[in-house]
A and B are shown apart, each in its own frame.
Chain A
Amino acid sequence: MKNSLATFLILAASAAYGQDNLMDMLEKETAPTTDYISQTFKGTRLVNGQTIETKGKGEMEFIFAHRFGPLNSGAYELFGLDQAYVRLGLEYGITDKLGVGFGRNSVDKTMDGYMRYKILRQSKGAANMPVTVTAFANAAIRMSPKKEDATYSITTEDRMSYTSQLLIARKFTQSFSLQLMPTFVHKNTVDSNVENNDTFLVGAGGRVKVSRSISLTSEYYYRVGIDEANPYHNAMGFGVDIETGGHVFQLVMSNSRGLTERSFLTETTGQFFDGDIHLGFNVTRTFQVVKRK
């Protein structure tokens, strides 16, 4: 009798064990997956500069960016609103990692073309990667001044500049991301009395999400080893990102008016804390031009 009671208990226990652990069994049978972290930032621009984000495969993004004149230009200029600098741009995702884009900025009538490639993706789970890393490179040509208006015989080479960036970002929590941007800018022709052809910069920026669709951003670029004679300032900016469906609105404040890398990274004329603040916005609209399946 004792034996059969023991048998019964053991059987009952093993049956109960089996029931409770069907889910555990499923967990064990399911191969561990790698969770890739997405949406470190809302868009491809932090304030003026780039983020690690790339467009999805087959996505086309139209970027309309705009900067007013400086706030401290007074009531006569309606605190900068009478002036406007515009960049119109398109960016396309060839793959989820590789993107190309081009645009034209009214500042110095600059046209730029660029590529970005996501080298590493932040992930956890089966494969652990602490950061997302994107390489960015652009080439830009200044169409201003016209050949006949130039003070010297200007060539196409003189008009060119190149920027390379390594963008390194980590999404620490759902609402907090940081990015570092070591950057190199080369300008073919400069006034050598005041600046060098090559500029190294270290940038840092971040975002804090305040709600599901709104986040605050900031960025700062420090130019390394700049001479006393250089009249320009380090670029900084703050923004508010508002996302609604396929649109991202970014309202920004920055001491730069230019919207291509050369001009805001190396030729920022304003001093933020003296009131040389340009209000502006970036509006992006994303279209899926090629369906993914």
Chain B
Amino acid sequence: MKKLIFFLLVVSSFNSTAQKFIVEKSFVSFYSHAAIEDITAENKNANSIFNSETGEVVFSIPVKEFKFAKALMEEHFNEKYMESEKFPKATFQGKVTGFKKDVTGAQEVKAQGKLLVHGVTKEVEIPGTLEVVGGKIKLQSKFIIKLADYNVTLPQLMWQNIAEQVDVTLEFTYKPYEK
């Protein structure tokens, strides 16, 4: 009996690491469409772990790593809107539903959980696709963030430059997490 327990423990711990996937490559971008100018920024330094067994997923995006075409935009984004020295990370902690490991091709899934942006946590549902390709998992997701939901306020003078909501795109490629 004791041997069996030991065996179970070993197997279960082995299993739990084998089901976890960590980001190998990440790409996060956002796009804001407004009267005067369209603004895009890209970030390649996000990190994420996905547990294919339980569906749990977490990701963390360093806000300062968003790169803009204009240096001044980047400065204002960090200093005035995101206050990235005070709130350095945007994170998500949630659970994916609708993912089947043995299905080939892209699968429509949904992730429900807590999105933390600019120090404000909101319960959200994010749509996306997951695809298993040669032992790796690819995640793609597009969703909208309303700036007001996260207490990101725009000065009156800037409303024509910055939209009230931005389109966020996530592209993560996961590899098995081993430790």
Contact = CB atoms under 8 A, between A and B. Distances in A.
Interface in B53-76: 54, 56, 58-60, 62, 64-65, 67-72, 74-76
By size class, the interface of chain A is: 35 or more
B78 interface: yes
Given A29-B49, A174-B85, A244-B157, 10 more contacts: A3-B1, A3-B5, A7-B5, A10-B9, A19-B54, A23-B93, A26-B60, A39-B79, A93-B71, A245-B161
A57 B67 CA distance: 13
A37 B65 CA distance: 13
A212 B86 CA distance: 14
Given A23-B93, A33-B62, A35-B88, A55 B47 contact: no
A11 B60 contact: no
A150 interface: no
A189 to B, nearest CB: 40
Contact of B157 (A3, A10, A245): A245
A23 B91 CA distance: 9
A293 B56 CA distance: 36
The secondary structure that dominates the A interface is mixed
A225 interface: no
A286 B76 CA distance: 13
Contact of A14 (B13, B78, B155): B13
Contacts of A113: none
A38 B75 contact: yes
Contacts of A229: none
Contacts of A11: 8-9, 12
Interface in A2-29: 3, 6-7, 10-11, 14-15, 18-19, 22-23, 25-27, 29
Contacts of B177: 29
Nearest to A28: B179
Contact of A38 (B13, B78, B91): B78
Interface string A60-96: 0000000000000000000000000000000001001
Interface in A34-72: 35-39, 55-59
Q: Which of B2, B79, B93 has the most CB of A within 10 A?
A: B79
Contacts of B48: 26
Nearest to B16: A18
B96 interface: no
Nearest to B93: A23
A58 B72 CA distance: 11
A245 B75 CA distance: 11
Contacts of A292: 67-71
B72 A30 contact: no
A245 B71 CA distance: 12
Interface in B33-57: 45, 47-49, 51, 54, 56
A291 interface: yes
A213 interface: yes
Given A3-B1, A15-B16, A27 B54 contact: no
A246 B76 CA distance: 10
Contacts of A33: 45, 62, 65
B71 A57 contact: yes
